[in-house]
Structure 1
Amino acid sequence: MSTFLVPLQVVVQTPAHSGVAATLTYTHTEPLPAGTLVRVPLGTREVLGVVWDPRSEDAPQAEPSRLRAITAVLQGLAPLDDGWRRLVGFAAGYYQRNLGEIALMALPPSLRGLSAEQLARRLRRKPDARVAGIRACAQADEGNLVSIALSAEQESVTAEIDAQTGPFLLFGSTGSGKTEVYLQAVAAALAADGENQVLVLVPEINLTPQLEARFRARFAPLYGQAAIVSLHSGMTHPQRLGSWLAAHTGSARIVLGTRMAIFASLPRLALIVVDEEHDASYKQQEGARYSARDLAVWRARDAGAKLILGSATPSLESWHASEPAIARYRRLCMPSRIGAACLPRLRLVDMGQQPRKAVFAPALLAAITERVERGEQCLVLLNRRGYAPVLHCHACGWKSDCPQCSATRVFHKTDRSLRCHHCGLASGVPRACPDCGNPDILPVGRGTEQLQEQLAQLLRNVITPERRAARVARIDADTTRARGALQAQLAQVHAGDIDVLVGTQMVAKGHDFRRITLVAAVQPDSALFSSDFRAPERLFALLMQAGGRAGRDAGYMAAHGSAPELWVQTWHPEHPLFAALREHDYPAFAARQLAEREAAAMPPWSHQALLRADARTQEAAQAFLQAAVEAARAAQLPGLAQVFLYPPVPLAVQRVANVERAQMLLESGNRRALQHFLTAWQPLLHAERAHHKGLVRWLVDVDPQAI
């Protein structure tokens, strides 16, 4: 007696440009619900797959007897729901990626490798003892929470979020108490239903510990410690799996995470919060180049959940969408800081009027000295790590170029190394010029290492009120590589053990430093005249966010009789960006930038995509791009008449790891036309690759953040 086999469509992870169909057909002895996790054979391997809705794909018909069978069903785990599958399907279509690539990327790495038996053992593990009390705690009287006194602005904004459906753009100055508004919104969402879940996104891993601490302090007494989980790439694979399972099963009520958390399985999603929504870190820059901020907007609308986008410097796209004439977002404003705290005063330093080769203007150095002698802290910002960007021989002109990239290797004095920040190639510093033998090879330019060294030297005689010498510390990607290093260094800052902190942009946003009263930006001018039209927006946001670290504690400022200051050393003090920065006038800056973009038909008045090609030679990369254009025109692809294709050009860093890189910009005033064109273009791009042997890879980047 033969067994009846049911054909099922299964999504598996296949190479991005393999040309393999989005779903593959397998058989099983019985129907399985869409979203079921299964183990299936793929070539000589056995991989994880997700049963998909057959109606979503034009699945090829085949005799069941000729199809391969599903190896195992991962029992005990509820199927991934319709909302999750719709999110994955939308992301794959919009960002022009393979459906299986997005679906499997969204699952924890540990889950992809578990067999059915291993998963069953994992699920049988006894939950943390705290989990048992979650449901009971959820029924506790919400009045047990500590009553928080809200400012008038916070009360008004919170009431509007409660009363309206959103989505909301929360425009609040640094220190205005946006986090408390998030906490109030989360409390309301969880109290509305005993199974509701909330997703809170932050742009960077280093912002999750302090946010998690605040959420645990507020909600653990009500819902238990296990109801709050984090989800980011800094966690171990078992930790990520545990958090994902808690979210998927509903035992986790609050999920805090970075951009990857947007794909968490949250069956009862009621609220999404995107903190620092303007941050470019929400855009993935490798593989599937999705924007977690934009996917949050789509997911909230699809799930019927509320959405709060929060920032002191919203992205211009979000700001435009919240204009009364557009009104896609409801704009909520909190212009004042909590309590009597005031925004920092801007002090512009014209470097053209300072002593030659001065790193710090005398007035700035005097201000830092005065603050340290009063026991206050200062933050010095330079968005370039290392000691110097390049070593240079003045005798023959040799530079510390990277042999694999069209970039220089950065001099790191701490370990006497030259490192390429693009390909990672590192070597020791030569004793003499490799070309002419000159022993006097000198660093050119400055990085955070050099700034820390020079400040320590300049402040060596400065004594704090505790009768000790001033301490200068540095926080950047080099000093925080070790596990727990960032948390330890931030703890030192919060404890007052550091007097002057030198850092990159990683310390310029989100951190609640209570004792910092002065912030100084040393070399911000490069972004003023960048070829990237988003550079002024990013610089304004960085300076506003950095300045927001100063003077956050009104009580501390009053006790020291101090006022917060933001010092900016610039060669162009007359630039309009600084005029808006002086008044903390983001609306004026945004209006000027949007007017310029409208005149140039740039986003948000147009929509963009990049086609990038990596090849063994620059000629091969550009030849592929040009051939792709000619193929599109020959085929008269849909939407072509509404899409402008710019000529291929090399990237700013043309060669990385001995691979040449070129790109071509596509622009259209109609988003739908651009999407139709890109979708129709995909088969032609796959076909063209076969004709260009020197091509290494190609990719499409929709809504690029850097051009």
Structure 2
Amino acid sequence: MRLVHVFVEHPILHLDHTFTYRCYDANVKRGVRVQVPFHKTSIIGFVSKVEEADEQTLAKYPYEIKEITKIIDAEPLINEELFALADWMGKTYIAPRIACFQCMLPAKLKPSSTHGKIKMETWVRICKEPTQKLTEKQQAAYEQLERHGCMRRSTFYQMFKSCGKKLIAYGIVESYEQEAKASLLESEQDEEKTLQPDQKKAMQKLLHATQVVSLLHGVTGSGKTEVFLQLAKKVLETGRQVVLLVPEIALTPQMVQRVKARFGKAVAIYHSALNAQEKYEQYQLVKEHKVQIVVGTRSAIFMPFDHLGLIILDEEHDTSYKQDATPRYHCRDIAVWRAKYHHAKVVLASATPSLETYARAHKGIYQLVEMPKRINARFPEMQLVEMRKAVGNSESYLLSNDLLDAIYERLQKKEQIVLLLNRRGYTPILRCISCGFVQMCPHCDVAMSYHKEEQVLKCHTCGHTMSVPAYCPTCGKASWRYLGIGTQKLEEFVQIKFPQARILRMDADTTGKKHAHEDILKSFGNHEADILLGTQMIAKGLDFDNVTLVGIVNGDAMLNRSDYRSGELTYDLLEQASGRSGRGDKAGKVILQVYDTQHYAIQSALHHDYLMFFKHEMRYRHLAGYPPYRYLVSLVFSHKTKKMVEKDVKAAMQILEKKENGKILGPASLNKLRDEYRMRILLKGKDQALLNHYAWDVYQNHITKKARTRLDIDVSPVVLE
């Protein structure tokens, strides 16, 4: 008999320990999923430890040890590396290990009682030689199957329907079930490009780096992707594996196309737009060593590599690399941890590196590799339009005359245009001009956004929709006014101004369907549209030679956010969006429409001067005591009852006020979301481990008192409301 110690599926920190069960099956192993009785139900868990035991050992336990109901897996899903990684993640991000295991695996393999079944397919194969004379068609079917070895039954029946069924009836061919497998599709091959001098230098530095982590700081259009591909080839030639990460699905299609064109079938794709079965199939390709390179978004960092040689994070500054649910990990941290485990290299690449990353490179903790010049040796022409003056001169508050003229000129030349507005919908606010009432979401402290196509108001936070009220609920008058601008309204305005222009809109509303990102970008790349208009998802990573004009509307809008990163987010967006123009042989132009022309983030983007921005922003961060000079831990308490939140926040403050080191900011009330009141306490200090310890103390007190509020802990948050 064996005693089996199991992490059960409940992602609750005070259950972050194993439960002991009996097992009489010799096949039970560390790392497999098992079904176990738990309280009055049956749940799934991971086996952490297996030990031999006898009846005397059982007698030492003060409670009855129940027996495992079922062993789900024949072989472990969690190996020793992933067990160690889960331990590290749990301590670093203050999360239960079962939640760490869950984020590592595709949905079909998660330790969940509701995990989906693996899709099976019916195949056919020859099981014996024919003993009777076959007809001409039956013989053709037999020989075809003999050549292939096996075929999907559906394909076999399409080719040889009646005679194929006869062969099965004769017992010559048999049907059998096997897991559905991802197809490895051929793609058009392209050749390596000759590296420019800056690319060659960067390549050599990355190949011979002594540090685990390198920062590849290359301006937009400097040829970083070609360096990635040739670096990956060098690593693959040594028999090791490569993962290339991009922050958003919108960037995946173009990167996949380039990687597949270079490496053919040996590529797996892994991102959130795949369904559960597709993710499982891609996961299996890596596990079964059928591919050696993976392109994907954040979750691809957990793919089952066993001989990892290189991890590349493209656009490493992007906040999408931070997980927004427990465990709130940062992909960059996981990449560095796995690289150290496998003795691999990490390349962090960006034209606008995060301040934390560039500061580490500046200090020599990371190797700094610079690519300061574009491949075509020229940046796009930059023009700043001050919208106060433009509107004062009776120009449109949507698009200035300068931008309208530039669009007209490009359309005449059959060149393409990108227009960026980081706000979807038709207008952001519905306001009564009689009394000033603004229609808010009934579940969140957020104004509803008007969507003209659907004729509804939508909350972009919780997704709640409602029809537009006929009368103001405060004054009873029908005096609504739509204030602000969204992508739908901008699209309508541009179409009116340029009725012959073909326009594609790319935002959260138009990319909800599967393959929508890929279809829109493919259409634009094939010049089936003249103007690509959208939110920040079109601001980075896209490479179209015929785009010669980028217009950025309300370019300084993010400076109004209360987040301490507002300047950095603004600079990143402007610099990245500007980089979409003039990437080919034709000269490019960028028009920035802003109200605050003198802000250092605007001026730095105008001159493509990252160091100028870095120096200004670091000075501000130092004075305010924000990262990278200080570490942060956010504690957010949420509940549908305001008094309950206030009570638990007060208890937390009583614990934290006794701590000597570190600074406590708050408690601060946050916007209500999804009918929940929220308050935040922010811990700030120079010692990350100490801040984590304080957060643990708060949590332990929280669960000991069985508090009814939800406590969300975010270590090193990248965005603060």
- With the shorter chain as reference, the TM-score category is 0.7 to 0.9
Are the equivalent residues in 2 in contact too, given 1:418–1:426 (CA < 8 A)?
A: yes
What is the deviation of 1:46? 3.8
Q: Does 1:628 align with 2:646?
A: no
In structure 1, what is the equivalent of residue 253 of structure 2? 209
In structure 2, what is the equivalent of residue 578 of structure 1? 602
Distance (whole Å) between structure 1 residues aligned to residue 645 and residue 251 of structure 2: 39
In structure 2, what is the equivalent of residue 398 of structure 1? 437
Are the equivalent residues in 2 in contact too, given 1:250–1:268 (CA < 8 A)?
A: no
Q: Deviations over 1:516-540 (max 9, x none)?
A: 1111111122322432111110110
Quick one: which amino acid aligns to residue 662 of structure 2? V
Name whichever of 149-158 and 350-359 sits farther off.
350-359
Are the equivalent residues in 2 in contact too, given 1:386–1:410 (CA < 8 A)?
A: yes
Distance (whole Å) between structure 2 residues aligned to residue 425 and residue 574 of structure 1: 38
Quick one: which amino acid aligns to residue 610 of structure 2? Y
Quick one: which amino acid aligns to residue 333 of structure 1? E
Distance (whole Å) between structure 1 residues aligned to residue 179 and residue 480 of structure 2: 62
The 3 A distance-change label for structure 1 pair 120 and 206 is closer
Distance (whole Å) between structure 2 residues aligned to residue 174 and residue 32 of structure 1: 52
The 3 A distance-change label for structure 1 pair 115 and 430 is closer
Q: Does 1:470 align with 2:501?
A: yes
In structure 2, what is the equivalent of residue 670 of structure 1? 687
The 3 A distance-change label for structure 1 pair 365 and 61 is farther
The 3 A distance-change label for structure 1 pair 436 and 641 is closer
Q: Deviations over 1:299-334 (max 9, x none)?
A: 2123211101111100000000001xx211101111
Q: Deviations over 1:137-171 (max 9, x none)?
A: xxxxxxx9834311111111111222224311010
In structure 2, what is the equivalent of residue 526 of structure 1? 557
Which runs of structure 2 are paired with 1:400-419 in the superposition (5 Å)? 400-419=439-458
Are the equivalent residues in 1 in contact too, given 2:556–2:602 (CA < 8 A)?
A: no
Distance (whole Å) between structure 2 residues aligned to residue 474 and residue 145 of structure 1: 30
Identity %: 33
Which runs of structure 2 are paired with 1:476-491 in the superposition (5 Å)? 476-491=507-522
The 3 A distance-change label for structure 1 pair 12 and 104 is farther
Distance (whole Å) between structure 2 residues aligned to residue 568 and residue 116 of structure 1: 48
Distance (whole Å) between structure 2 residues aligned to residue 679 and residue 643 of structure 1: 15
What is the deviation of 1:65? 8.7
The 3 A distance-change label for structure 1 pair 126 and 98 is closer
What is the deviation of 1:645? 1.6
Which of 155, 160, 163 is the matching residue for 2:200? 155
Local SS of the residue matching 1:578: helix
The 3 A distance-change label for structure 1 pair 371 and 610 is same
Are the equivalent residues in 2 in contact too, given 1:80–1:265 (CA < 8 A)?
A: no
Q: Does 1:333 align with 2:333?
A: no
Aligned residues: CA RMSD: 2.8
Which of 22, 25, 28 is the matching residue for 1:27? 22
Distance (whole Å) between structure 2 residues aligned to residue 336 and residue 379 of structure 1: 23
Local SS of the residue matching 1:442: strand
Which runs of structure 2 are paired with 1:552-591 in the superposition (5 Å)? 552-554=583-585, 557=586, 563-591=587-615
Name whichever of 42-51 and 510-519 sits farther off.
42-51
Which of 111, 125, 132 is the matching residue for 2:178? 125
Are the equivalent residues in 2 in contact too, given 1:200–1:275 (CA < 8 A)?
A: yes
In structure 1, what is the equivalent of residue 158 of structure 2? none
Local SS of the residue matching 2:666: coil
Quick one: which amino acid aligns to residue 9 of structure 2? Q
Which of 661, 674, 696 is the matching residue for 1:642? 661
Q: Does 1:598 align with 2:622?
A: yes
Which runs of structure 2 are paired with 1:265-276 in the superposition (5 Å)? 265-276=304-315
Quick one: which amino acid aligns to residue 644 of structure 1? K
The 3 A distance-change label for structure 1 pair 470 and 620 is same
Name whichever of 674-683 and 654-663 sits farther off.
674-683
Are the equivalent residues in 1 in contact too, given 2:103–2:299 (CA < 8 A)?
A: no
The 3 A distance-change label for structure 1 pair 61 and 22 is farther
Are the equivalent residues in 2 in contact too, given 1:81–1:267 (CA < 8 A)?
A: no
Which of 286, 297, 303 is the matching residue for 2:342? 303
Which of 465, 486, 491 is the matching residue for 1:447? 486
Are the equivalent residues in 1 in contact too, given 2:209–2:367 (CA < 8 A)?
A: no
Are the equivalent residues in 1 in contact too, given 2:244–2:314 (CA < 8 A)?
A: yes
Name whichever of 382-391 and 230-239 sits farther off.
230-239
Local SS of the residue matching 2:358: helix
Q: Does 1:347 align with 2:383?
A: yes
What is the deviation of 1:681? 3.4
Local SS of the residue matching 1:642: coil
Which of 528, 533, 549 is the matching residue for 1:502? 533
What is the deviation of 1:396? 2.7
Quick one: which amino acid aligns to residue 624 of structure 2? A
Local SS of the residue matching 2:105: coil
Quick one: which amino acid aligns to residue 378 of structure 2? C
Q: Deviations over 1:651-683 (max 9, x none)?
A: 2xx112221111110011111211232234331
Count of aligned positions: 653
Which of 468, 483, 495 is the matching residue for 1:429? 468
Distance (whole Å) between structure 2 residues aligned to residue 406 and residue 121 of structure 1: 47
Name whichever of 539-548 and 594-603 sits farther off.
594-603
Local SS of the residue matching 1:63: coil
Which of 101, 110, 125 is the matching residue for 2:108? 110
Are the equivalent residues in 2 in contact too, given 1:22–1:100 (CA < 8 A)?
A: no
Which of 175, 186, 189 is the matching residue for 2:235? 189
Which of 48, 51, 58 is the matching residue for 2:47? 51
What is the deviation of 1:119? 6.6
Are the equivalent residues in 1 in contact too, given 2:504–2:532 (CA < 8 A)?
A: yes
The answer for unaligned runs of 5 or more in structure 2 is 52-57, 122-175
Name whichever of 249-258 and 599-608 sits farther off.
249-258
Local SS of the residue matching 2:548: strand
The 3 A distance-change label for structure 1 pair 569 and 548 is same
What is the deviation of 1:33? 4.3
Local SS of the residue matching 2:68: coil
In structure 2, what is the equivalent of residue 614 of structure 1? 638
The 3 A distance-change label for structure 1 pair 578 and 114 is closer
Which of 643, 653, 659 is the matching residue for 2:676? 659
What is the deviation of 1:472? 2.6
What is the deviation of 1:568? 1.0
The 3 A distance-change label for structure 1 pair 116 and 457 is closer
The answer for unaligned runs of 5 or more in structure 1 is 135-143, 461-468, 558-562
Are the equivalent residues in 2 in contact too, given 1:622–1:648 (CA < 8 A)?
A: no
Higher CA-based Rg: 2
Local SS of the residue matching 1:392: strand
Name whichever of 114-123 and 388-397 sits farther off.
114-123
Distance (whole Å) between structure 1 residues aligned to residue 386 and residue 565 of structure 2: 24
What is the deviation of 1:453? 0.8
Return the TM-score normalized by structure 1. 0.87
In structure 1, what is the equivalent of residue 214 of structure 2? 168
In structure 2, what is the equivalent of residue 699 of structure 1? 712
Which runs of structure 2 are paired with 1:218-297 in the superposition (5 Å)? 218-220=262-264, 225=265, 227-297=266-336
Q: Deviations over 1:456-483 (max 9, x none)?
A: 11223xxxxxxxx222331111111122
Q: Deviations over 1:393-445 (max 9, x none)?
A: 21232322222221111000011101111121111223343444433422111
In structure 1, what is the equivalent of residue 36 of structure 2? 40
Distance (whole Å) between structure 2 residues aligned to residue 344 and residue 440 of structure 1: 45
Quick one: which amino acid aligns to residue 366 of structure 2? Y
In structure 1, what is the equivalent of residue 55 of structure 2? none
Distance (whole Å) between structure 1 residues aligned to residue 119 and residue 557 of structure 2: 55
Quick one: which amino acid aligns to residue 198 of structure 2? E
Are the equivalent residues in 1 in contact too, given 2:118–2:277 (CA < 8 A)?
A: no
Distance (whole Å) between structure 2 residues aligned to residue 680 and residue 511 of structure 1: 46
